[in-house]
């Protein structure tokens, strides 16, 4: 178990420092968002190679994590390429000036690398413990994962189609899955990690991976996800306050009546 956790930490360190160096060269810290998904893929395959767990569980965790990570990285690369640096990093760059490269190494790349290691605890530990074959808890985990991936993929597709319509400029997306939750992609992301954590928890020691799912859910709901995004959306989207009043921020549910 310790070997997998150490190997994962080293792999994440190498990945994030390398990404930071590239970001300094191209003057764009936004590439860290694309590498975020890829980092989990790296962790999954490191666990598959180094870990000595149940073979079926190792492959299940590795393939599910790879599917999620490559999908997210590909989507963000397609969405962000050619649009310059994200406003969050531009704001930081303006604030810190010439010190931004060093500051970003710690506050952007270092922080995300640390979170990546914590969130992926289930992926790591679920592959490090030789336990009996897959059981009911793993099946539940797969189902929760599938629900999460559905919300992410469909939510992103619906939002992309909405933004591509010129008539949608400045308006609020409140159709499809977005009618039931203001952030179907974030809800889906949380479900993916709870699903993976449940698969890992079946090993006993892998139950520590539930900490990673809880941390991811907290950040999505209270820190870098819903809270941060809506702070700007309230200013940029007409009718967003009304949308907030009738629509769940995270867990899907029928909208409130006006």
Q: What is the pLDDT of residue 236?
A: 64
Same domain, yes or no: 227 and 247? yes
For tokens 């995300």, what's the residue?
A: 112
Same domain, yes or no: 25 and 99? yes
Same domain, yes or no: 50 and 142? no
pTM above 0.85, yes or no: yes
Q: How far are the Cα atoms of 18, 51, 149 from residue 104, in angstroms, in the given order?
A: 13, 32, 30
Per-residue confidence of the chain (258 residues) as pLDDT tens digits?
789 999 999 999 999 999 999 999 999 999 999 999 999 999 999 999 999 888 999 999 999 999 999 999 999 999 888 888 988 899 999 999 999 999 999 999 999 999 999 999 999 999 987 777 889 999 999 999 999 999 999 999 999 999 898 888 778 888 999 999 999 999 999 999 999 999 999 988 889 999 999 999 999 988 876 666 666 666 666 677 788 888 998 899 999 876
Cα 80 from Cα 66, distance rounded (Å): 21
**Smallest Cα–Cα separation from 221: which of 195, 251, 194?**
251
Residue pair 194/213 in contact (Cβ under 8 Å)? The answer is yes
Same domain, yes or no: 113 and 170? no
Cα 211 from Cα 72, distance rounded (Å): 22
Same domain, yes or no: 171 and 112? no
Same domain, yes or no: 70 and 123? yes
Cα 151 from Cα 75, distance rounded (Å): 14
Of the residues 85, 108, 130, which one is the last residue of a structural domain? Answer: 130
Residue pair 142/58 in contact (Cβ under 8 Å)? The answer is no
- Please count the structural domains in the chain: 2
Tokens describing residue 171 = 């308006």
Same domain, yes or no: 234 and 181? yes
Of the residues 130, 145, 176, which one is the last residue of a structural domain? Answer: 130
Same domain, yes or no: 144 and 54? no
Q: What is the pLDDT of residue 61?
A: 96
Same domain, yes or no: 228 and 248? yes
Cα 141 from Cα 173, distance rounded (Å): 30
Same domain, yes or no: 154 and 55? no
DSSP assignment of 120-138, as one string? THHHHHTTTS--SSP-HHH
Of the residues 130, 156, 173, which one is the last residue of a structural domain? Answer: 130
Residue 97 DSSP class: G
Tokens describing residue 36 = 């975020």
Same domain, yes or no: 142 and 118? no
Q: What is the pLDDT of residue 231?
A: 67
Same domain, yes or no: 14 and 108? yes
Domain that holds residue 4: 1-130
Residue 16 exposure: Cα atoms within 13 Å on the Cβ side? 26
Task: Tell me how far the alpha carbon of residue 148 is from its chain's centroid.
Answer: 11
């Amino acid at each position: 178990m310790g070997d997998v956790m150490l190997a994962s930490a080293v792999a994440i360190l190498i990945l994030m420092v390398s990404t930071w160096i590239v970001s300094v060269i191209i003057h764009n810290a936004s590439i860290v968002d694309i590498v975020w998904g890829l980092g989990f893929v790296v962790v999954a395959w490191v666990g598959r190679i180094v870990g000595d767990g149940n073979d079926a569980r190792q492959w299940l965790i590795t393939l599910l994590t790879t599917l999620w990570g490559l999908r997210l990285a590909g989507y963000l690369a397609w969405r962000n390429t050619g649009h310059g640096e994200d406003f969050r990093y531009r704001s930081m760059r303006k604030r810190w000036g010439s010190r931004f490269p060093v500051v970003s190494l710690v506050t952007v790349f270092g922080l995300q690398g640390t979170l990546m290691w914590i969130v992926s605890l289930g992926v790591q530990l679920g592959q490090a413990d030789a336990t009996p074959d897959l059981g009911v808890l793993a099946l539940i985990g797969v189902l929760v994962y599938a629900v999460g991936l559905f919300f992410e993929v469909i939510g992103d597709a619906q939002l992309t189609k909405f933004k591509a319509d010129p008539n949608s400029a400045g308006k609020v997306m409140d159709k499809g899955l977005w009618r039931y939750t203001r952030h179907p992609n974030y809800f889906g992301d949380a479900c993916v990690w709870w699903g993976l954590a449940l698969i890992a928890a079946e090993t006993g020691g892998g139950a520590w991976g539930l900490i990673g799912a809880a941390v991811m859910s907290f950040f999505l709901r209270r820190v870098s996800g819903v809270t941060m995004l809506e702070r700007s959306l309230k200013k940029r989207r007409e009718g967003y306050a009304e949308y907030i009043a009738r629509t769940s921020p995270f867990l899907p549910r029928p909208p409130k009546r006006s």
